[in-house]
Chains A and B, each alone.
Chain A
Amino acid sequence: MADKTQLARQFIQAIPHAKELGLVLEDIGDGVARISMPYDTKLVGDPQSGVVAGGAVSAMMDTCCGAAVMCHPDAPGGTATIDLRIDYMRAATPGQTITTRATCHHITRNVAFVRAVAVDDDTDRPVATASGAFTVENGF
C-alpha cells in the first residue's frame, strides 16, 4: 500500500507537464490527492485582471484526479482520462496559490470515478469543481 502511494508519487512528479505548470504534490494516498499550483504570470488567461487561465486550472485538476485514481487501494497501475467536466465557479484571486483536492470515490475493474474541488486562499468558496471518469490500467 505504501509502495503504491510511493509509486504514484514518483509517477506524478515525473510528468513533464506537471513540472512545466509548477505543480506541487502536497498529499497522496488512499484514493485522495492534493496538488497545488503557485501563481505564475505565464499562466494568466485574462491580462486585464491577471486571472489564471481556465485551461491551467483544468490541467491541474486533470493531474490531481489521475493521482487520486493511481493511489486508490484497488488501482493496479496507471490511468488515462475518459471524460472530465469542470465547472468554473469564480475567478481565482490573482497572486494566490490554487489547491485541488481530488477523491476517487468509486473504482471498478475498468473505470474509476473521481470528484475534485479547487480553492485559493478563500477556502470556503471553491474556484472550480470537476467530475470525471478515468480508465484503470494494469501497467503504467
Chain B
Amino acid sequence: MSRPRPEHVQVVKQRRDAALNALLDSVPYIQFLNVTFDRRGDELTAQLNFNEKHIGNPFLPAIHGGVTAAFLEITAMISLNWSHLWERIESGALDPEDMAKGHVPRQPKIIDFTVDYLRSGLPRDAYARATISRAGRRYASVHVEAWQDHKDKLFAQGTGHFLMPQDDGKS
C-alpha cells in the first residue's frame, strides 16, 4: 500500500517544459514560422502566431497555403516526437538540460503529408492539435486539425506518415 511520494508540482512542470522547449528550440524553421506550443500534461496545442509575412494572397488577405501546410506538419512532427519521447522524459532517461545543449534524440522522418484546405486562413492566429492514429515501431500515422475562431470549424486538416528513428542506430 505504499507508493513513492509524488514529485513536487514545480519539478514536474519544469522537467516537461524544459524538454519541450529543447525540442522546439532545436528547429530553426519552427522559430522562422513562429509556431509555439501550449502544454497541458502531455497534451499539446500548437499556435501559429500571425505575422504579415504569412500572407499568401494580399488581396483577400489570406494565410499562404504553404504556411498552413507547414504549420500542420510541424504540429504533427512535434506531437509525434513528444509522445515518442514522453516515457523517457518522465523516467529521467532523457535529461532536459542535456537536451537544451543540443543533445536531442533523432526526429521521426516525414514520408508524406496531405493537406485538406477547408476554408481560407484568416489573417489572425491559428491553432492545431494532432492525433496519433497509429504509432508503430517503424511507421506512424498522424492526423492534425487546425482552427482559428471555433474549434469545430476547422480551416484545414491533414494526415501524414512518418518513419520512426530506430534506436539500434540503423536509422
> Among A56-64, A102-110, A118-126, which stretch is in contact with chain B?
A56-64
User: Are A83 and B70 interface neighbours, CB within 8 A?
Assistant: no
Give the shortest distance, in Å, between B53 (CB) and chain A (any CB): 4
Partner of B55, one of A16, A48, A60, A61: A16
Complex Cα distance, B132 from A8, in Å, reads 39
Contact with B along A68-91 (1 / 0, CB 8 A): 000000000010111111111001
Against A, the Cβ 8 Å flags (1 = close, 0 = not) of B83-106 are 000000000000000000010101
Q: Mark B62-99, 1 if CB is under 8 A from A, else 0.
A: 10111101110110010000000000000000000000
The verdict on B107 contacting chain A, using a C-beta distance below 8 Å, is yes
**8 Å CB contact of A140 from B26, B57, B110:** B57
Q: Which of A20, A52, A82, A87 contacts B112 (CB 8 A)?
A: A87
Interface membership of B113, Cβ < 8 A: yes
Partner of A84, one of B55, B58, B62, B114: B114
Q: What chain B residues lie within 8 Å of A62 (beta carbons)?
A: 64-66, 69
On whether the beta carbons of A54 and B64 are closer than 8 Å, the reply is no
Residue B38, interface by CB 8 Å:
no
In the assembled complex, the Cα of A58 lies from the Cα of B112 at a distance in Å of 10
Rounded to whole Å, the gap between the CB of B25 and the closest CB of chain A is: 9
CA A24 – CA B145 in complex, angstroms?
31
Bitwise interface map of B from 134 to 161 toward A, beta carbon under 8 Å scored 1, else 0: 0000000000000000000000000000
Q: Which residues of A contact B (CB under 8 A)?
A: 14-21, 41-48, 52-56, 58-63, 66, 78, 80-88, 91, 139-140
